[in-house]
Structure 1
Amino acid sequence: MKNEQLIQQQFQARMNEDELLNCMRCGFCLPTCPTYIESGFQESHSPRGRIALMKAVVDGLIEPDEDVERSLQLCLGCRACEPVCPSGVRYGHLLEEARDIIAQHKRYPWFVRLVRHVVFKQLFPHPKRMRMLTALIGFYQRSGLQALVRKLGLLRVLPNHLAMMENVLPNVPTWKQMNERPTHIEAETKRKKRVAFFSGCLMDTMFMDTNDATMKLLQLVGCDIVIPPAQTCCGALHGHSGEKADAKTLAKQNIEAFEALDVDYIVTNAGGCGAFLIEYDHLLKDDPIWAERAKAFVAKIKDVSVILVELGFHLEGWRLPEQIVTYQDSCHLRNVMKTANEPRLLLQSISGVEFREMKDADRCCGSAGIYNIIEPDMSMQVLDYKMEQVKQTKATTIVTANPGCLLQMKLGIEREGLTNVRAVHLVELLLEAVEATKEANEPVKQTG
């Protein structure tokens, strides 16, 4: 049987036809879709157009050919179309299912198969291997090898955007630091909540400083924190890239790691991870053993910004040196977790911060997991538009709430040569405010 025929059969068997039919073709989604806009308003690169293509494959009107696959792969998966859809179409679920069908029945070249196998099966599901890879990056940064590579101009063999990405990578922790992570931290003040922290894979290696800042803030507002060591990658990369079976395996491992804990919330600090975790109930809805367990897990997921507001962090009068700050929404934090006001409230509560809302702060920055690596042209188009909006605010600090967005903003700063602008994660700026306020309030030591 032809590959296209097999894919078409799977579309007919697996795609949710009711969800496909929910799309009224009204076009409310079009102005929210970055790829529709940046492609010159091509219908096939809009949510409405992609749904029409999926439906046409299901109905046997077209074959799932390269054009269909290209349209689906070019989608950022930002899900900005969902909040504006009057019919409530869950476009993200349709996209993930379609991509999974194609990926599982596509004949990839051997090199692509090898890369996918290494990334999806041998790396991200294994925390120790993630730590080993990060330790190698750390060796590259600290040994002088990075300086030598740059001096010799060896990065010129890479595409320009990848060479710039190497330049904006954070200084990563050592092997020892990554292997001495806490499993329980007590509140600094009277305990108000007992929470579990989803530390993630990249977040607890490449972005360990952000995780540490998150836990310090949670301690400060009165949270006892449990960090279960059995947790693993959230599975978002797998779910978005056509590896749903592996995503389900990771989801089950995470549910098992957290479900026995007596906690009020499961706290996340990465919009992409949180959005995938909060949809484990959808991912496992057809599994009679796991469906209810997934619902119980999902009910406890909260972004750290929500917890901080709930526990009054924004009422404490924190201060920072004067600076202009703007906020770039994490697409999944906003569109899936429905968290947009809390980060802004926290930023606006800091004395010394002049908060300026950028135009289209809710439009994707072009990071989208590994999208900026596999679709660099479209990613950079989207980023260029975003940086124009940043420049209009005259901000000196760009804040976001997702590691991919953070690296993309740093990449944008590098591309634009904005030497007076920095990008930070929300919790890192909040911790800066805490430390600056405490330092300002310390009594001056008498000398002599």
Structure 2
Amino acid sequence: MTVRQPKTEIQQAFDARMDRDKLLQCMRCGFCLPTCPTYITSGFKESHSPRGRIALMKAVADGEKEPDEDFYRSIELCLDCRSCEAVCPSGVAYGELIETAKQILIDHHKQSIKEKVIRAMTVRGLFPHPGRLNFVADFVSFYQSSGLQKLTHAMRIMNLFPASLKAMEAVVPDVHTYKQPVDAAKYQADLPPKKYKVAFFEGCLMGSMFKRTNSTSKILLELVGCEVVSPKQQICCGALSDHSGEKAMARDLARQNIAAFENLDVDFIVNNAGGCEAELIEYPRLLADDPDWLPRAQAFAAKVKDVTQILALVGLDQFHLALPEMTVTFQDSCHQQNVMKVAAEPRQLLRAIKGVHLVEMEARVSCCGSGGIYNMVEPDASGHILERKMAKVAAIPKVQRIITANPGCFMQMRLGVERAGLAGQVQVQSMTDFLLDAVNYTRYHH
């Protein structure tokens, strides 16, 4: 007869907080394995697969396994890209399970100094605070445009910093350019009658370091007949907090955003970043235990759309857009693909541009390794995933552009282009920036 030992504190937490029904949904069929980036890059280690992690969570919750360092690493290394959910025949809510597990680890497992510092600087100290983000954007703009960045690189000063910070410095876009909105006034004469009224969700990074891309998104929406409003009270969507286990902060941010948007008389709430919009439609899950906010979260989420959904719905292709002959590929945002279920619309818009040849990457539905702050806290694992992605890009003959739909993907793919030695050949561009380039080219060349 086996005498079961009393459960440790962390085992008790898993027992109390993990949803047993959802854990038991996994049939261990293995459909998830080929889609999981950490399973592949780990050398096909079962504990780094979705079904392996679910089995480990259940074993800890049942008291059959003590949560050792291998268990912690298995949970921490998960990107939460949700690719497994897209192919799971049983509909396992893996995202909810892994995020609950990460929250338990934050509450009960000692974090490394490195992770504490990164979390304090980003998830807690930076992204929820628009003023701080704008200050950082201004500082980075000065750093890049003043020659200080070139001097830093020439003196190899970045080699003195941790790999995570060095990687982050390398992927930051040309902020001086991207934080300057496009002049919308020159498009006013072309605006058609209004068909829809939409509220635009700015986002934290998009609203500070990528203001240009936000402005191109709004101009395109106006060009297809949308009245665009943007409430000032909105804040970070909470995705970074939610995916890294900071649930209380994510819920607070969700409530602030719902309150900022819910009294607007709009048809849609539109966003251009896959990670943000996927979080917005999951506010009902995030606030499921709050009866006062759940109906409000459901009403909010029902209106959330990706910008390409609206552009395809209203018909951007009516402009018969064109660009010089070029080959492009599209980098799906994991959460846009796997949570928002948006994949056809971006491709529809790209294929409608005369002169643009869209070539898909092999195994295109795979993560680039950005994962919010993942590329900072797990730079080695992120780097291996990025290498695999860039090999798929390099295999496309004469590819000139990588079109992205998320700021994290944009910066990660820029890093990949630099590391692969493709900087002079391949340009990374956000979806709406590329589409507005096509609008401008068509206006002046046809």
Q: CA deviation at 1:95?
A: 0.4
Trace 1:33-182 onto structure 2 (pairs within 5 A).
33-108=36-111, 112-158=115-161, 163=166, 165-173=168-176
CA 1:207–1:176 in 2, change beyond 3 Å: closer, same or farther? closer
Trace 1:200-215 onto structure 2 (pairs within 5 A).
200-215=203-218
Provide the rounded CA distance (Å) in 1 between the counterparts of 2:402 and 2:179.
Answer: 31
Deviations along 1:303-353, one digit per CA (max 9) or x if unpaired, are 001000000012321000110011111110000000001011110000010
Query: Letter of the aligned partner of 2:431 in structure 1?
Result: L
Q: CA deviation at 1:252?
A: 0.2
Provide the rounded CA distance (Å) in 1 between the counterparts of 2:184 and 2:23.
Answer: 45
Trace 1:414-433 onto structure 2 (pairs within 5 A).
414-418=418-422, 419-433=424-438
Q: CA deviation at 1:80?
A: 0.5
What SS does structure 2 have at the residue aligned with 1:324? strand
Contact residue 400 and residue 426 of structure 1 kept, 8 A: yes
CA 1:403–1:177 in 2, change beyond 3 Å: closer, same or farther? closer
Match of 2:300 in 1: 297
Match of 1:14 in 2: 17
Match of 1:403 in 2: 407
Contact residue 327 and residue 398 of structure 1 kept, 8 A: yes
Report whether the alignment pairs 1:251 with 2:254: yes
Match of 2:199 in 1: 196
Match of 1:446 in 2: none
Query: Letter of the aligned partner of 1:404 in structure 2?
Result: G
Match of 1:31 in 2: 34
What is the aligned-residue RMSD (CA, Å)? 2.2
Provide the rounded CA distance (Å) in 1 between the counterparts of 2:312 and 2:355.
Answer: 19
Contact residue 274 and residue 333 of structure 2 kept, 8 A: yes
Report whether the alignment pairs 1:392 with 2:395: yes
CA 1:90–1:176 in 2, change beyond 3 Å: closer, same or farther? closer
Match of 2:4 in 1: none
CA 1:108–1:36 in 2, change beyond 3 Å: closer, same or farther? closer
Q: CA deviation at 1:152?
A: 1.8
Provide the rounded CA distance (Å) in 2 between the counterparts of 1:425 and 1:176.
Answer: 14
Task: Please say which of residues 197-206 and 162-171 is displaced more in the overlay.
Answer: 162-171
What SS does structure 2 have at the residue aligned with 1:202? helix
Q: CA deviation at 1:44?
A: 0.1
Q: CA deviation at 1:159?
A: 5.4
Trace 1:362-401 onto structure 2 (pairs within 5 A).
362-394=365-397, 395-401=399-405
Q: CA deviation at 1:116?
A: 2.7
Contact residue 131 and residue 175 of structure 1 kept, 8 A: no
Provide the rounded CA distance (Å) in 1 between the counterparts of 2:21 and 2:379.
Answer: 34
What's the TM-score once normalised by structure 2's chain length? Answer: 0.93
Provide the rounded CA distance (Å) in 2 between the counterparts of 1:37 and 1:108.
Answer: 26
Q: CA deviation at 1:167?
A: 3.8
CA 1:96–1:224 in 2, change beyond 3 Å: closer, same or farther? same
Match of 1:434 in 2: 439
The percentage of aligned residue pairs carrying the same residue is 54
Deviations along 1:359-417, one digit per CA (max 9) or x if unpaired, are 11111111111111111111111111111111111211111101111111111110111
Q: CA deviation at 1:260?
A: 0.4
Q: CA deviation at 1:208?
A: 1.2
What SS does structure 2 have at the residue aligned with 1:393? coil
Contact residue 366 and residue 372 of structure 1 kept, 8 A: yes
Deviations along 1:11-70, one digit per CA (max 9) or x if unpaired, are 111111000000011111111111111111110000000000011111110122222111
Provide the rounded CA distance (Å) in 1 between the counterparts of 2:94 and 2:211.
Answer: 33
Report whether the alignment pairs 1:328 with 2:331: yes
Q: CA deviation at 1:137?
A: 1.1
Query: Letter of the aligned partner of 2:414 in structure 1?
Result: K
Q: CA deviation at 1:426?
A: 0.8
Provide the rounded CA distance (Å) in 1 between the counterparts of 2:178 and 2:389.
Answer: 36
Paired residues in the alignment total: 435
Provide the rounded CA distance (Å) in 2 between the counterparts of 1:30 and 1:105.
Answer: 29
Q: CA deviation at 1:148?
A: 1.9
Provide the rounded CA distance (Å) in 2 between the counterparts of 1:30 and 1:433.
Answer: 39
What SS does structure 2 have at the residue aligned with 1:28? coil
Q: CA deviation at 1:110?
A: 5.8
What SS does structure 2 have at the residue aligned with 1:64? coil
Match of 2:220 in 1: 217
CA 1:161–1:323 in 2, change beyond 3 Å: closer, same or farther? farther
Match of 1:276 among 248, 272, 279: 279
Q: CA deviation at 1:433?
A: 0.1
Deviations along 1:269-325, one digit per CA (max 9) or x if unpaired, are 000111111100000001011111000000000000100000001232100011001
CA 1:166–1:192 in 2, change beyond 3 Å: closer, same or farther? same
Provide the rounded CA distance (Å) in 2 between the counterparts of 1:176 and 1:282.
Answer: 33
Contact residue 281 and residue 298 of structure 1 kept, 8 A: yes
Match of 1:355 in 2: 358
Provide the rounded CA distance (Å) in 1 between the counterparts of 2:113 and 2:166.
Answer: 26
What SS does structure 1 have at the residue aligned with 2:205? coil
Contact residue 367 and residue 405 of structure 1 kept, 8 A: yes
- Displaced runs of 4+ in structure 1, greater than 4 A? 109-112, 159-162, 173-178
Contact residue 178 and residue 212 of structure 2 kept, 8 A: no
Match of 1:343 in 2: 346
Task: Please say which of residues 106-115 and 289-298 is displaced more in the overlay.
Answer: 106-115
Contact residue 350 and residue 356 of structure 2 kept, 8 A: yes
CA 1:37–1:97 in 2, change beyond 3 Å: closer, same or farther? same
What's the TM-score once normalised by structure 1's chain length? Answer: 0.93
Provide the rounded CA distance (Å) in 2 between the counterparts of 1:110 and 1:73.
Answer: 15
